[in-house]
Structure 1
Amino acid sequence: MRGTPIWLHSALLISSVRESLLPSLMTVGVLILSRVKVTDIPGYDRLVKLGTERKGAILFDVGCCFGTDIRKMAADGWPADSILGTDIEPKFWELGHRLFCSTADTFPAVFLPGDIFDLTHLDPVSAEDRTLLHRGPTPMPPLRSLTSLSPLRGYVAAIHAGAFFHLFSEER
């Protein structure tokens, strides 16, 4: 697209991503999904400070979609290699790389596809097992080695769920 004005290139890219999404998301537009929401959180600056000052702090984004919010957190200082996103639809993460012109090498945050309601993705902890919520002598597993979220118990410093709660029915 050499010689194409940047505004036209951006419009064509968004249009291309939107067309890729249509089979999966007939009712939600790409512009809504790509809006940064994490900065609306009161105390956002303290959240970023947590990631920049606490060694090994893990940020976990549930329902990360394109990774817009975790990209913003990384841009503001949270180390990208200490960020983990999950979404039920892996295609969203791939489209996020297209939308933001990135790759796994240029944006090293980890994406772990899965359904947060699936017990193989995240095994719930009962009240009797609260001791599991604290770090034990076991070192934190490398984020890229994860096949489920359960091994991260006790290691996550912050959880963001900006595009997640719409998935709950009244029963859940």
Structure 2
Amino acid sequence: MSTSKTLQQLQAQWVTSENFRRYGQVIFASLDGKAYDAEDAQLNLHNGIPRFYIMRLEKRGRKFHKITRHVKCTQCLGSLEGKDWLIAVCPPNNDVNEPALEEIAAFRVPGNCFIKLHEGTWHAGPYFDHEAVDFYNLELVDTNVVDHFTHDFLKSHQLEFEMV
């Protein structure tokens, strides 16, 4: 017996501080010397050693069927060279081990800002149409080993997403 998968399109909207608030923060440039305030990334990196690195991703496209979360720390992502990119997110609900399907949203992130994900925010990405993009990533040194929870929509719902 074969089961066919369904492709669900997600309309990606340009990220703003307001429309991304449920999932994290959007951080834009500010003048040098500005005092620390709520517009700065509100980080939680106290559960381990922070890791700030550049990751190169190639030919990612716009489709995904897995979504991941980290419940012990925040994560920051931003592209280098001003390249725009896409990410799908779902609000954190740390009492449930599955993202709320009806709450998944897609965003287009311009290359002049970065995003900070709240602890527990489900995320799929970065995705993009470029050949390759370098991203800076701030998380903990062992985030992808001890704090990496993934849900596979192909297994649970025979579902794949495409950001448009």
TM over 0.5: no
Report which of the two has the higher share of helix: 1
TM-score, normalization by structure 1: 0.25
Who wins on radius of gyration, i.e. which is larger? 1
TM-score, normalization by structure 2: 0.25
Report which of the two has the higher share of strand: 2
